[in-house]
Amino acid sequence: MRYFIRSVKFLIALFVIYLAAVWIMIEAGASMLTMRETLQVLVHTTRGIVLLVAIVAWAAIYPRVGFVSRRVEGDMTDDREKIIRAFISAGYVLKSEDGEQMHFRAAGLFHKLRLLFEDEITVSQYGQWIVLDGIRRSVADVQMRLKTGLNSRDDEEQKK
């Protein structure tokens, strides 16, 4: 069910972007058609149908490619402060924590909106790895920040 909801959210976002682009073109005088005529062309031409099919297909596979699980070598309890700092610098705040997982959410409304309210990243421990689960671009950002923070710890320990 979650997959379907994510797909529908993304589909709606793509249509909003399309409509906004068409509206801007109309307002700028770059289109000789009205909004209604543009939408009629969209559904009554081969190119329009191909565009619609492509949008629906991309929305259908988006949850599979848009959400990932990444690992960083470390320990959740020992590196707790560095994990929190990495998330704060990426625009996230700690929302909840139990013994096994930490849940982070985007700090601002614009950040949440940009992520279609799919802004939760879950942090868990798997052996020697810290596992980050969530939306791809945010997980990649936090992973890079966390690796940098943990590597600086290793450098400090080696200097001692």
* Mean pLDDT, rounded, for 147-160: 64
Same domain, 83 and 155: yes
* Mean pLDDT, rounded, for 114-140: 91
Residue 148's pLDDT is what? 86
What is the tens place of the pLDDT at every residue in 12-41? Answer: 999 999 999 999 999 998 888 888 998 898
Asked if pLDDT for residue 152 goes beyond 80, the answer is no
Q: Percent of the chain having pLDDT more than 70?
A: 94
The three-state secondary structure class of 71 is: strand
Which residue range forms the structural domain that includes residue 18?
Answer: 2-64
What distance in Å separates the CA atoms of residue 114 and residue 82, rounded to the nearest whole number?
Answer: 25
The three-state secondary structure class of 118 is: coil
Same domain, 99 and 32: no
CATH number at residue 80: 3.30.70
State CA 85 to chain mean position distance.
Answer: 19
Same domain, 29 and 77: no
What is the tens place of the pLDDT at every residue in 125-134? Answer: 998 999 999 9
- Token readout for 155 is 């450098």
- Name the domain count of the chain: 2
Same domain, 11 and 32: yes
